[in-house]
Structure 1
Amino acid sequence: MNYAIFFFLVAILSNASGMDDDMQELINNLHNTCVGEVGVDEALITKAQNGDFAEDEKLMCYSKCLLDQMAIVDENGIVDPEAAVAVLPADMQAEAGPAVRKCSKLRGSSPCSNVFEVMKCWYTESPATYFLP
């Protein structure tokens, strides 16, 4: 799933207009795995893709599941900012890196909410590089 990390972190692919079929399949598999695991409402994901983050435990755990699948978060929901930045293409690291590093310091009240706080911050700090499959 390491290729999925790239797409997760690069918001310009959120419209999927230039994504090849193999990469779209990886994104779909990641999404389907996590939806199946946590049972999140698809409508909440759609809203979160546009910055409307409902304080919903399943949505929070969906976010954690995504990063778990990408191996950039630990069991406590602590995001490894260097792992996240390292998978970005070089031309995106300068733009997304500061937001990823800043936001990865945030904490919630549980492993799922830790990731959720990071995701909300990332959207606020760098909406052009944010993507939630």
Structure 2
Amino acid sequence: MEARAAVRCALVGLLLALGVTAIDDDMAELIKMVHDSCGEETGVDFGLVDKVNAGADLMPDPKLKCYIKCLMVTGGMMSDGEVDIDAVLTLLPENIGKKNEPLLRGCGTKKGADDCDTAFLTQVCWQNANKADYFLI
């Protein structure tokens, strides 16, 4: 069940990043669990997440970088320092996956100094490619 929840959270996280915001109560609860767990693990300032969601560019805060990594790893979108675009695409509904596949593949994995930086740089690419719809959980 835990793995299934993580996959569902990965899907929701990516859907939110791509601007798909219609979610049910169960999904909202799963998002909150991952959000809270990764927040506790990293000590992120959720004010930074709020600023990003209000339209600010992702900022290179070390705790924010590791929060993003935690979201991606927990959601199955990243392992061993690599973003798994094929796994991300298999989680998406076909129409959304097709629409955003060039964006996701174009970004690929943006290698950083460590896994936190890699997750951050990849998300920066996603945000730059789709700023109007970008959102963090």
Shorter-chain TM-score above 0.5: yes
The CA distance in 2 between the partners of 1:128 and 1:92, in whole Å, is 16
Contact 1:44 1:59 (8 Å CA) reproduced: yes
Contact 1:72 1:83 (8 Å CA) reproduced: yes
Give the alignment partner of residue 79 of structure 2, picking from 74, 78, 91: 74
Deviation at 1:126, TM superposition (A): 2.2
Unmatched segments (≥5 aa) in structure 2 = 1-5
**Corresponding residue for residue 53 of structure 1:** 58
Check if 1:8 corresponds to 2:23: no
Deviation at 1:102, TM superposition (A): 1.5
Give the alignment partner of residue 130 of structure 1, picking from 119, 126, 134: 134
* More divergent stretch after superposition (94-103 vs 47-56): 47-56
Identity, % of aligned pairs? 33
TM-score, length of structure 1 as denominator length: 0.88
Check if 1:95 corresponds to 2:133: no
TM-score, length of structure 2 as denominator length: 0.86
Unmatched segments (≥5 aa) in structure 1 = none
Check if 1:40 corresponds to 2:44: yes
Check if 1:25 corresponds to 2:20: no
The CA distance in 2 between the partners of 1:47 and 1:101, in whole Å, is 27
Counterpart secondary structure, 1:10:
helix
Contact 2:107 2:126 (8 Å CA) reproduced: yes
CA offsets 1:23-74 (integer angstroms, 9 cap, x no match)? 1001101100100000000011112233421111100000000011011211
The CA distance in 1 between the partners of 2:45 and 2:34, in whole Å, is 16
What is the aligned residue count? 129
RMSD over equivalenced CA pairs, Å? 1.6
The CA distance in 1 between the partners of 2:89 and 2:134, in whole Å, is 13
The CA distance in 1 between the partners of 2:133 and 2:100, in whole Å, is 6
